Structure formats: structure tokens, C-alpha cells
């Protein structure tokens, strides 16, 4: 049986950052001790209708980290599963934002996402970020109990983002910065006018 230990822990919720540098922080949080972060991503196998699919898990707010989702895609997952304790936020807008983050991970990696929140939004998202199925009760998607049954899209194709990550954006920023520095150092022509 495989196991995945959460890699990105919630600061002040699951661990206290820099405890040796700021020991007073331990007195400000409502728990004692810290959890240990996991070290590696895990690929799980599931069989359905005679087919086998590989999936990776993002626990709670790990779906806010594009690199974790991208890493799971690079090690061969066909879809992602995000399980989350969203009770911290009641029924506020944060639940919508958290679900939107899962949709972004689907789009970036062209992979289906199954999301289950204890009181957050539970649903199945296709590789284009479209919501396929939602857990609803009386028109509500937040703070509802139950389960959904549905199919998740699996994909073996890699998106550009899955292949190269943030490098194009980093390159554009570096080129823009260099251009700004070089342009600022060039002498102004006598015919130029300021506005």
C-alpha cells in the first residue's frame, strides 16, 4: 500500500516557521509541536473498467503550488486528487478561490482533477478547467455533506507548462529588466522630447 506525506505544510497551522530564530511564535499558536513534512511525491494506481490510471495527491493548500502539481505530472500521473480541510474558512470566498486554484492546476498541466473538501467545494474538473461534476445540495456547494460519483478525464499528453514550467515567464522578466537597464543607460538623442 502506497502512502503520501504532505510536503508543503501550513505555516502556523501545521508547523511553526523558524522556531530557533523566533521562539516566541510558539506561544502565539493554538497547538504544540510541529508536523514533519513529507519528502517525496507518490504515484498511486487505480483500476476501473479494466483500465489502470496513475494519480497523484495534493493535500489541502498544496494545490496552490503549481510546481507540486507539475512535479506529479512529470513523474507520470494521469490525473490529480486534491483533498482538503476547508473548515477554517466557513463558507467564505476562500472556498471559491481554493476551488479555482484546483482548476488552474488542471489547465496548466492538461490533467483532470478530483477535489474533495470536508466543507469546501467538492467536484471533478476536466483538463481544460471545466467543472464536470459538483457536490450540491439545495443549490449550495459549500458546507454540504455527501459524495459524488463521476468520471475523471485522464491524459498522457503533456502541456507546455508541464514540460518547461515557469522558465518562459522568468526569461521574459530577465529580458525586460535587461532592456530597461540598457535603455536607461543609453544617452538621449538631441531630437528626443520628454512629455
User: Tens-of-pLDDT digits for all 195 residues of the chain?
Assistant: 789 999 988 887 788 888 788 878 777 776 666 788 889 999 999 998 888 999 999 999 899 999 999 999 999 999 999 999 888 788 889 999 999 999 999 999 999 999 999 888 999 999 999 999 999 999 999 988 999 999 998 877 888 888 888 898 899 999 999 998 888 776 776 666 655
pLDDT computed for residue 29 by the predictor: 75
In contact, 101 and 64? CB cutoff 8 Å:
yes
- Could you give the angle at which helices 93-109 and 66-74 cross, rounded to 10 degrees? 40
Task: Tell me the pTM.
Answer: 0.82
pLDDT for res 102: 96
* Strands lying side by side in the sheet with 112-117: 43-48, 51-59, 79-84, 112-117, 123-125, 131-134
Cell reading at 146: 455527501
Q: Which pLDDT score, from 0 to 100, does residue 186 have?
A: 67
Q: Are 26 and 81 in contact (CB under 8 A)?
A: no
Question: φ, ψ for residue 45 (rounded to 5)?
Answer: -110, 140
DSSP code at position 191: T
- Spans of all domains in the chain: 41-185
Gap between the Cα atoms of 36 and 15, Å rounded: 8
pLDDT of residue 52: 92
Amino acid at each position: 500500500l502506497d502512502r503520501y506525506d504532505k510536503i508543503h505544510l501550513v505555516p502556523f497551522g501545521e508547523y511553526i516557521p523558524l522556531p530557533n530564530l523566533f521562539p516566541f511564535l510558539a506561544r502565539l499558536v493554538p497547538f504544540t509541536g510541529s508536523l514533519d513534512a513529507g519528502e517525496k511525491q507518490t504515484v498511486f494506481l487505480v483500476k476501473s473498467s479494466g483500465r489502470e490510471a496513475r494519480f497523484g495527491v495534493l493535500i489541502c493548500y498544496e494545490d496552490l503550488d503549481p510546481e507540486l502539481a507539475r512535479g506529479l505530472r512529470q513523474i507520470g500521473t494521469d490525473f490529480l486528487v486534491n483533498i482538503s480541510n476547508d473548515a477554517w474558512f466557513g463558507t467564505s470566498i476562500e472556498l471559491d478561490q481554493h476551488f479555482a486554484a484546483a482548476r488552474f492546476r488542471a489547465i496548466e498541466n492538461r490533467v483532470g482533477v478530483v477535489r474533495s473538501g470536508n466543507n469546501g467545494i467538492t467536484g471533478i474538473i476536466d483538463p481544460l478547467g471545466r467543472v464536470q461534476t459538483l457536490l450540491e445540495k439545495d443549490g449550495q456547494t459549500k458546507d454540504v455533506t455527501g459524495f459524488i460519483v463521476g468520471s475523471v478525464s485522464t491524459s498522457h499528453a503533456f502541456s507546455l507548462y508541464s514540460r518547461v514550467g515557469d522558465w518562459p515567464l522568468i526569461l521574459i522578466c530577465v529580458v525586460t529588466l535587461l532592456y530597461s537597464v540598457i535603455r536607461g543607460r543609453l544617452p538621449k538623442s538631441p531630437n528626443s522630447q520628454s512629455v
